[in-house]
């Protein structure tokens, strides 16, 4: 059997890290088994769905290298929902209701006040069929609920959480359709999973109670159950995932210079017992993807950890992979010289400015100014293939300086910085003329 997974975002906003993690894990699960990964745009909410978010979802997935094997849009599948809904109505598994939100809230408060679970009392089932038909004919349109079978427990073997069991007597019949005939999430999702041949539903643990209801929907439609797995939700470094982090779109990470491979490397392993390995590409990550490695504890997303992973990714990037993002004139040797000091590719421009100038001069003591004047003369006389070691070697012998006293004034005069790339690789890039000018100016 071909494994089929899906990612089903609603285009009511931008993807955030939690969404992307779900998409990535479904993609890796499908790739691990040589299966198919589908994108389903859940745009039944016409009022809140926006086409620009659909384009953004596709662009974000493409930037991360996540390529769906197919795409569906719920807004184009209403005929399929109508047909399935009619079958469920004929079988008595959906029924009309007319309670207002205020009436339902009052019932809920009464039950809670009695110490009882706030389960819908199914009062609408007591309305005679003739009365139902009359109200509908007069334009008093109902909302519709799915009738749960309360005779047996709902159970499944969860791919991450293990055996799951729910008592349907403690659950309300879910509303699946509004009075304006629009759809809620629960039923169309099941109908689509059946029609699209989805075999594995991997999603966040906040959907566990939804799954309990949807298990019966699959059964009512006469469809086999997919395998379900619910992974722990993301938390921030401080514990609960902050609203700021939870709302950060993928565009934010692009803008601050995060490499897509860094997000993939980190998110692929969050929630598992596997270490983050920046050397692994998508194929290797998919080959090692295993639901048994996921734990029940919350998965911690730390932006500082993302920055560390990003730096490791950048340090391994070849010149050809970044050439189109580097400043004009910066060649492979310059990239390799500054790369170990970068956390983001765009920072290469700052170091290229150090190479090409101008730089802000620093202040020196009288003793260091005399030392730098001597350095200018030595550099002028000893410039060769390895000017840095020739310069420092000659100065060490003539001045007796060593360590920080030998190297730091030179770095400061030549770069305007206290730290940076290895001067042995940086000084040839600065070049003889600029180096002499900077030493003399200092």
What lies within 8 Å, CB to CB, of 72 at 6+ separation is 38, 39, 40, 41, 192, 196
Give me the pLDDT at residue 238, please: 65
SS3 state of residue 44: coil
Q: Average pLDDT in the 199-205 region?
A: 97
Question: Is the pLDDT assigned to residue 410 strictly greater than 70?
Answer: yes
Give me the pLDDT at residue 167, please: 97
Higher pLDDT, 37 or 248: 37
Confidence band for 240, pLDDT divided at 50, 70 and 90: low
Question: Is the pLDDT assigned to residue 243 strictly greater than 60?
Answer: no
Output the average pLDDT for the chain. Answer: 95
Give me the pLDDT at residue 241, please: 63
Give residue limits of the domains in the chain. 4-72+183-233, 80-177, 243-315, 319-355, 357-441
Known binder of ligand: residue 243?
Answer: yes
Give me the pLDDT at residue 245, please: 61
Confidence band for 63, pLDDT divided at 50, 70 and 90: very high
SS3 state of residue 174: coil
Q: Where are the beta strands (DSSP E) in 238-390?
A: 299-300
The answer to whether the beta carbons of residues 330 and 264 sit under 8 Å apart is no
Give me the pLDDT at residue 1, please: 81
- From 33, 80, 35, 37, select the one nearest 189 (Cα to Cα): 80
Give me the pLDDT at residue 246, please: 59
Domains 4-72+183-233 and 243-315 are alike in CATH topology? no
The continuous run of DSSP H or E covering 191 comes out as helix 186-195
pLDDT digits 0-9 by tens, 266-300: 999 999 989 999 999 999 999 999 999 999 998 88
- CATH architecture type of domain 357-441: Orthogonal Bundle (1.10)
pLDDT digits 0-9 by tens, 92-103: 999 999 999 999
Q: Average pLDDT in the 15-42 region?
A: 96
| 355-372 burial code (b ≥16 CB/10 A, e <16) | bbeebeeeeeeeebeebb
Give me the pLDDT at residue 428, please: 96
Give me the pLDDT at residue 203, please: 96
Instruction: Measure the CA–CA gap between 206 and 28, rounded to whole angstroms.
Output: 21
Q: Average pLDDT in the 13-20 region?
A: 90
Q: Specify the fold of 80-177.
A: 3.90.800
Give me the pLDDT at residue 234, please: 87
- CATH architecture type of domain 243-315: Orthogonal Bundle (1.10)
SS3 state of residue 1: coil
For helices 423-430 and 387-399, give the axis angle rounded to 10 degrees.
110
- What is the separation of C-alpha 376 from the centre of its chain, rounded to a whole number of angstroms? 52
Q: Average pLDDT in the 209-229 region?
A: 98
Question: Is the pLDDT assigned to residue 330 strictly greater than 80?
Answer: yes
Instruction: Measure the CA–CA gap between 388 and 166, rounded to whole angstroms.
Output: 72
pLDDT digits 0-9 by tens, 338-374: 999 999 999 999 999 999 999 998 999 999 999 999 9
CATH of domain 4-72+183-233: 3.40.50.620
* Total-model pTM: 0.90
């Amino acid at each position: 059997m071909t494994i089929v997974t899906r990612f089903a975002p609603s285009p009511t906003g931008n993807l955030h890290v939690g969404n992307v993690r779900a998409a990535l894990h479904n993609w890796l699960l499908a790739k691990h088994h040589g299966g198919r990964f589908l994108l389903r745009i859940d745009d039944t909410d016409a009022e809140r769905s926006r086409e620009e978010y659909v384009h953004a979802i596709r662009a974000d997935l493409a930037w991360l290298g996540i390529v769906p094997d197919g795409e569906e849009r719920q807004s184009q599948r209403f005929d399929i929902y109508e047909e399935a809904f009619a079958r469920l109505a004929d079988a008595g598994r959906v029924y009309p209701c007319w309670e207002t939100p205020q009436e339902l809230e009052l019932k809920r408060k009464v039950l809670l006040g009695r110490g009882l679970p706030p389960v819908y009392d199914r009062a609408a089932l007591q309305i005679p069929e003739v009365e139902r038909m009359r109200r509908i004919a007069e334009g008093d349109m109902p909302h519709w609920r799915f009738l749960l079978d309360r005779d047996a427990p709902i159970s499944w073997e969860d791919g991450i959480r293990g055996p799951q069991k729910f008592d349907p007597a403690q659950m309300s019949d879910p509303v699946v359709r509004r009075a304006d005939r629009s759809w809620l999430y629960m039923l169309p999702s099941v109908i689509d999973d059946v029609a699209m041949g989805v075999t594995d539903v991997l999603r966040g643990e906040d959907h566990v109670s939804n799954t309990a209801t949807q298990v019966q929907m699959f059964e009512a439609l006469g469809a086999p159950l997919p395998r379900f797995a619910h992974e722990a939700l993301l938390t921030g470094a401080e514990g609960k995932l902050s609203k700021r982090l939870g709302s950060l779109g993928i565009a934010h990470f692009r803008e601050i210079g995060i490499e897509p491979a860094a997000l993939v490397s980190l998110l692929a392993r969050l929630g598992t017992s596997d270490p983050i390995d920046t050397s692994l590409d998508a194929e290797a990550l998919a080959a090692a993807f295993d639901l048994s490695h996921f734990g029940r504890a919350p998965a911690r997303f730390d932006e500082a950890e993302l920055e560390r992973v990003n730096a490791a990714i950048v340090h391994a990037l070849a010149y050809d992979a970044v050439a189109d993002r580097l400043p004009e004139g910066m060649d492979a040797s310059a990239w390799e010289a500054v790369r170990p000091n970068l956390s983001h590719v765009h920072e290469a421009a700052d170091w290229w400015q150090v190479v090409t100038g101008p730089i802000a001069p620093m202040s020196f003591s009288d003793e260091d100014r005399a030392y730098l004047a001597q350095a200018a003369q030595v550099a002028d006389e000893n410039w060769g293939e390895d000017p840095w070691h020739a310069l420092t070697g000659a100065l060490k012998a003539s001045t007796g300086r060593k360590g920080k006293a030998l190297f730091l004034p030179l770095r400061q005069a030549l770069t305007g910085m206290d730290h940076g790339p290895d001067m042995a690789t940086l000084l040839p890039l600065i070049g003889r003329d600029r180096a002499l000018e900077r030493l003399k100016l200092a």
